[in-house]
Amino acid sequence: MKKVIMLIAAVFIIIQFFRPQKNISSQVQANAIEQHYAVPQNVSTLLKTACYNCHSNNTSYPWYNNIQPIAWWLSGHVNEGKEELNFDEFNLYTVDKKKKKLHEITKSIKEGEMPLSSYTLIHTNAKLSKQQQDEITEWATSLENEIR
């Protein structure tokens, strides 16, 4: 039993040296949604608080991201989120994809799918009130109708 515990401890220590690349960008992205479309300040603040950690090119990492295998899990989660929707790459999408993504924002918020409950469990400031949900969905619907 002692050998098994020592082996597990050794593996845990060794994996600490293998870290995924962090999703951190210090510059304003040329294709960011805010660079091409009107995003009201209140909506921008809500998106940055509740969405951007997984859906942009700049993640604010918690302290526990320095522990493996948690960092691998978070990296996979962020990469998956960016593949689904990336606000920093929004203007690279086709018109149809932009409209679809805006529609999906509205749908996922109304259905309570976003932000993820696993995310808001730790990031309580990312929980959206009904009024905040309405602000985002009204903006997304309006922009969806505006894009041609």
pLDDT in tens, 25-36: 878 889 999 999
- Per-residue confidence (pLDDT) for residue 66, from 0 to 100: 87
Confidence of residue 20 (pLDDT cuts 50, 70, 90): confident
74-115: per-residue pLDDT in tens? 898 899 999 999 999 999 999 999 999 999 999 999 999 999
- Per-residue confidence (pLDDT) for residue 70, from 0 to 100: 87
Question: Residue 86 is part of which domain span?
Answer: 2-146
Residues 6 or more apart whose Cβ sits within 8 Å of residue 1: none
User: Quick one: which of 38, 30, 122 has its CA closest to 77?
Assistant: 122
- Per-residue confidence (pLDDT) for residue 62, from 0 to 100: 85
